[in-house]
Chain A
Amino acid sequence: MSILVIAEHDNAQVKPATLNTVTAAAACGGDVHVLVAGHDAGGAAQAASQIAGVAKVLHADAEGFAHGLAENVAAQIVALVNDTKDYSHVLLPATASGKNIGPRVAALLDVAQVSDISKVVSADTFERPIYAGNAIATVQSTDAVKVITVRSTGFDAAAATGGSAAVESVPAMAAAGGSSFVGSEIAKLDRPELTSAKIIVSGGRALGSSEKFHEVLEPLADKLGAALGASRAAVDAGYAPNDWQVGQTGKIVAPQLYIAAGISGAIQHLAGMKDSKVIVAINKDPEAPIFSVADYGLEADLFEAVPELTGAL
């Protein structure tokens, strides 16, 4: 039996979360195949074939896949699984896209999905955080096909190059109908993506305004080549865009260095960043819960400490 990984891609490139998913797939045992369902996605398929440890790339090309609509992509995955009878596992990254598609695939196959796994214990047993990471469940799937979404911070990224898998074209399923893509507003950032950044500078409500959020944190992020993140409170207050939110219901991150400025550290926020290698907390309040997980705590006014830190680097 083989393992099917669903690549997350923009038709030209494979997104980094795919690499962590390949590592999780390898741990399940079996040949790893990667499906690239896209439109004019030859570039992404080529990129997928270079990933170390991938045995085969399946490339399905159709207009209906251009924007990754769940209805169309799920139908393609289900057709592949049912036609080949070769797949014991279907793995998707636990990103907005993977979370959208995975359960649809599982329900169509009449199997459960194991969401957001952080560890592969054996081919049918996995660890996954529950209750915002306040508990870790070890779960065993009894279904013939295991549909799984993978928390990328739980697995190392497979090498993006070094592989030489064959790219095989597979017939594309007709669009499912009923849904169409209207448009998107994707912010073009000069910064690394939040979920794959090595360093993250994150701000909380203490920043006080959107202007201050940018004015104080951006120079530090620029200096460090870091991504910017935010607490839910800061996003709710309109200081930062929604997709910067780090936490249980936002992004789960585990960078080498996480700098939390003016973030008190609600359990929901900690759930999203406590696996970071090194955590720095800058906060005026000595009692702030963020200090209980920080490797280095600095009790200080962030409006003085952050610019000083920027200057000292």
Chain B
Amino acid sequence: MKVMVCTKRVLDYNVKARVKADGSDVDLSGVKMSMNPFDEIAVEEAVRLKEKGVATEVIAVSCGVTQCQETLRTAMAIGADRAILVETAEELQPLAVAKLLKALADKEQPQLVILGKQAIDDDCNQTGQMLAALAGWPQGTFASKVEVADGKVAVTREVDGGLETVSLTLPAVVTTDLRLNEPRYVTLPNIMKAKKKTLDVVKPEDLGVDVTPRIKTLKVSEPPKRGAGVKVPDVATLVDKLKNEAKVI
């Protein structure tokens, strides 16, 4: 079976977001961009399914600007077989991305689509669920374990208070949580190999998808700063402060 895996190019995990002076957005000029960490886990899981002989082909997909090609090359260096970029300079919101992915899924007919549970830029946590809804497929979100057998996938999900397992009939959508796997380091030979793999570029118009944003960002501001308090010299002072100053115990 084919597995489709979706990746987003985001501000690198280790870079602190800074708000633009005009309050219009976060400043992304000249900062390091990387693959969304949850998507890296998604790619790793898809590649492991191929290595186990469960998947026959892993297709990596990304939607966005031309530079997303780098993200897709990384996915192919991890082990995806080929890649598709839906290229647009428009702002893409989760519903639009889900529609683009649905159009690609119609074309490629994967049995399983794996995505990160959320992107660390907009922190939306929507795209996988939306894709599942549009395709009429079941969903296994926040996965910490994925097992495919007999036309079904058993997904162990991280829920409040512990774990829950659901069984989904394929085709299905899975979104990854942090501890599903530990993505491998990409090696130089694999990076070289990835350069030779196929990367197709399509436009939203080619897929017949209207990507017009539904949500307007009116402004982006710094969060209220929390000032540092005081250092206390010892435990006794701490207890005194908590009791008599903060009055929280």
Assembled-state Cα–Cα distance A165/B238 (Å): 46
In the complex, the answer to whether A184 meets B164 with C-beta atoms within 8 Å is yes
Residue from A95, A106, A112, A134 within 8 A of B160 (CB atoms): A95
B43-51, B70-78, B120-128, B189-197 - the one binding chain A: B120-128
- Whether B201 sits at the interface, judged by CB under 8 Å, is no
In the complex, the answer to whether B133 meets A74 with C-beta atoms within 8 Å is yes
In the complex, the answer to whether B144 meets A130 with C-beta atoms within 8 Å is no
Considering the complex, give the chain B residue whose CB is closest to the CB of A116. B123
Question: A123-147: which residues lie under 8 A (CB-CB) from chain B?
Answer: 125, 129-143
Assembled-state Cα–Cα distance A296/B217 (Å): 36
Interface digits, A228-248 against B, CB 8 Å rule (1 contact, 0 not)?
Answer: 000010011000011101001
Interface digits, B142-166 against A, CB 8 Å rule (1 contact, 0 not)?
Answer: 1010000000001001111111111
B residues in contact with A115, CB < 8 Å: 122-126
In the complex, the answer to whether A141 meets B129 with C-beta atoms within 8 Å is no
Min Cβ gap B105→A in Å is 14
Considering the complex, give the chain B residue whose CB is closest to the CB of A311. B235
In the complex, the answer to whether B246 meets A107 with C-beta atoms within 8 Å is no
Chain B interface size band reads 35 or more
Interface of B is mostly: mixed
A19-27, A35-43, A175-183 - the one binding chain B: A175-183
In the complex, the answer to whether A292 meets B118 with C-beta atoms within 8 Å is no
B1-9, B11-19, B59-67, B82-90 - the one binding chain A: B11-19
A52-60, A83-91, A185-193, A205-213 - the one binding chain B: A185-193
B residues in contact with A116, CB < 8 Å: 123, 125
Considering the complex, give the chain A residue whose CB is closest to the CB of B142. A96
- Whether A249 sits at the interface, judged by CB under 8 Å, is yes
What number of residue pairs across chains A and B have CB atoms under 8 A from each other? 259
In the complex, the answer to whether B229 meets A294 with C-beta atoms within 8 Å is yes
In the complex, the answer to whether B154 meets A182 with C-beta atoms within 8 Å is yes
The tally of residues in A whose CB lies under 8 Å from a CB in B reads: 90
In the complex, the answer to whether A131 meets B121 with C-beta atoms within 8 Å is yes
In the complex, the answer to whether B125 meets A99 with C-beta atoms within 8 Å is yes
Which residues of B are in contact with A by a Cβ distance under 8 Å? 11, 16-19, 26, 38, 93-95, 98, 117-118, 120-134, 137-142, 144, 154, 157-169, 172, 177-179, 213-223, 226, 228-232, 234-236, 238-239, 241-242, 246, 248-249
26 pairs from A and B in contact (CB 8 Å cutoff): A99-B142, A100-B142, A103-B128, A104-B132, A106-B126, A115-B126, A130-B122, A132-B120, A136-B220, A136-B222, A138-B219, A139-B215, A139-B216, A176-B138, A179-B168, A180-B166, A187-B161, A199-B248, A243-B162, A256-B248, A292-B228, A294-B228, A296-B229, A298-B234, A300-B235, A309-B238
Closest 5 CB pairs of A and B: A295-B229, A131-B17, A103-B129, A107-B130, A112-B214
Which residues of A are in contact with B by a Cβ distance under 8 Å? 67, 69-71, 74, 95-97, 99-108, 110-116, 125, 129-143, 176-187, 189, 193, 195, 199, 224, 232, 235-236, 241-243, 245, 248-249, 256-257, 267, 274, 277-280, 291-300, 305, 308-309, 312-313
